[in-house]
Every structure is written in structure tokens, then in C-alpha cells.
Chains A and B, each alone.
Chain A
Amino acid sequence: MTFDYEKYIRPGKLPHIWCPGCGHGIVMKGLIRAIDKCGLQKNRTAIVSGIGCASRLPGYVDFNTVHTAHGRAAAFATGMKMADPDMTVICTGGDGDGVAIGGNHFIHACRRNIDLTYVIMNNHIYGMTGGQFSPCTPTDAFASTTPYGNPDPIFDISKLAIGAGATFVARTTAYHATQIDKLITEGIKHKGMAVIEVLDCCPTSYGRRNKFRSVVEMMKQHKDIAVPVTAAAKMSEEQLAGKILTGVLHKENKPEYCEQYAKLINKVQNPTSK
């Protein structure tokens, strides 16, 4: 079915500023479809970002939106959710924003299991500032600051989120467009911290330096290395070498932070009642 994205885009905002082939537009469309599927009200939905190309997303969409300081999306979102727990609060941003400068806020939002949905666009690089390496730049890959290849191991964002305590963690890629809205929808419906990692493409600052001739080649690589978690269960370690798992990687039910906080307030204000 033809999808009416314009319904959710601020008038006059297209074309967006992202480069030709930048995957952030594909993720933005997936997010819009997910919000539509969930039937969220525009004025009861907040989208919060930090800084970076990915973090430009809230500027285009017609909801309550906040473009905050670099790495601080989770911190602002936590405050907003605490002030208005019935509001749907969604964070969007890049790997640099989310797990480099913002890594601390990110892990503590996961630890608290606060009811946010965090869509993290992992394009393996600091796109906006000219392709410096991020904690998600693969080992041996080239960035403007790793001209001889990257000596660092990477953060696996999904594993980081699970380890830190997020109760819904899923991964997909910009190639798998329909899975983007499916997983974000599940994340929004989940009560607690939901992290959806989307492996994304930055043809300008990452692709060119790493010998990808086009964004299509980058997307084909994601297609080739993605293995659904369900299929991975039947595969050997050798078969899984170099692959990345996609789908819902982790889901559990645990007390949610705003609810726990409300209970505490109630207990302190009404010491005699149970």
C-alpha cells in the first residue's frame, strides 16, 4: 500500500539534507510507519536526539521534538518521561552520539529500564564531522582518524544494551526496510527500555574510504551478513563467523523505572497505607 509519509513530515522540510543514499532517510521512514502502526497521537509523542547527521531526524517530523546536546538524548528523554510518563518518548541518533560521547547516558537509561524506545542508527562512523572513527568502526577499517586502519575492537551496541539492562533489544539493517518498522513497533509497545539498532550506511564518510563503490554495495553487504536469530540457532560457529544477528535479540519483563518511582513517592507520602 502506498504510504502517506507527508502526514508526519513538517511542511516544506523535504528534500532533507542527508547525502544521496544515506540510510538515515530509510530509518526515518521506518520510524514513521511504526508510529503510524502504533496509532500514536502527534501531541503525545516526543522524539529526542543529540547531535550528528542521524540526530537531525527530529527536525523533519511533526511531533514534540527536541534536538539536544551531543550524546544527551537519553538524559533529556529520561527527564521528559519522568515528568509525563504517559507520553511516548523515542530517542533517535547515531552510534557516535549514542555510545561514544553519550555512552554513559545510554547505559544508565538501559540500567534503569525506563520506558523509552531508542532507535540507534549505526553507520560505523562520525558522519557529520568528516568521518572520524567511532566505537563502532570495525577493526582495520579506515576513517579520517585511522588512516592506517583502525586498531580498536568495536562496541556491539545490542550486546552493550543487553548487558546494561535494557529489556527489549533488537537489530536490523537499512536494507531490511520492513523489519525496521516491525521492530520499532514492538519496541514502542514494550514497557521498559527498548533499543533498536539499525545497521546503517554512510556512503560519504565511511563507504568511500572503505572501498565501497556505491551505497548499493554497502546495503548488499548488510544483506549478506545478516542472519535472523531464529536461523542462527541452527548454525555452527564457523557458519556464523563474520555474520550479524538480526531480529529480537532479547526480551524480558522487569519493573519499569517511572512506575517504581511513582510507587516510592506513594510510599513516602502515605507511610501508613500499603
Chain B
Amino acid sequence: MGTPRIEIIEKYCKGCNICVEFCPKHVLKMDGFVAKVDKPEACIQCMQCELRCPDFAIKVYPA
């Protein structure tokens, strides 16, 4: 499994932390009030972040 592309649409992100907290692999982290991709190589493409982001701000494009 390769490294997926994870896109964070910064102008939609409200910094709720949901994607960061529920990512099973700690791929994401908060950078001030926006989520950021920290360790894309650890992503298992479970899509939990994309499913739960209330703000349509995160997209995971499987490798």
C-alpha cells in the first residue's frame, strides 16, 4: 500500500480536532486552528477522518 494524498481544505477547516483524535495512526495533527498532515506514510486509508470531518475539509485520495 503506497502513501495516499491527503488534502486539507484550509478555508473550510474549523479546527475541531475530530480528524486528529480519531485517526488510528496519528497521521494528522493540529497546527494552530487548522489540521495538518503530519505522517502521510503511516496512513492506512481507513477514511475515518474524511467520513467524520463535519466541515467537508479533508479528503483522502487512496494511493
Hey, which bits of chain A sit against chain B, CB under 8 A?
A: 1-3, 5, 9, 14-16, 18-26, 29, 174-175, 177-178, 214-216, 219
Contacts and interface: CB of A to CB of B under 8 A. Distances in A.
Given A29-B51, A178-B51, 15 more contacts: A2-B59, A3-B50, A14-B55, A18-B54, A20-B16, A21-B54, A24-B54, A25-B55, A25-B56, A26-B53, A26-B54, A215-B17, A216-B18, A216-B22, A219-B18
Interface string B1-45: 000000000011011111001100000000000000000000000
Contacts of A25: 53-56
B55 A15 contact: yes
A25 B54 CA distance: 4
17 contacts: A1-B47, A2-B61, A3-B50, A9-B56, A14-B12, A15-B11, A16-B55, A18-B55, A19-B14, A21-B14, A25-B53, A25-B54, A26-B52, A29-B54, A177-B48, A177-B52, A216-B17
Nearest to A32: B56
Contacts, number: 64
B14 to A, nearest CB: 4
B46 to A, nearest CB: 11
B50 to A, nearest CB: 7
A214 B17 CA distance: 9
Interface of B: 11-12, 14-18, 21-22, 47-48, 50-57, 59-62
A1 B29 CA distance: 22
A175 B47 CA distance: 13
B56 A20 contact: no
Nearest to A180: B51
A20 B50 contact: no
A216 B21 contact: yes
B56 A21 contact: no
Contacts of A5: 56
Nearest to A27: B54
A21 B51 contact: no
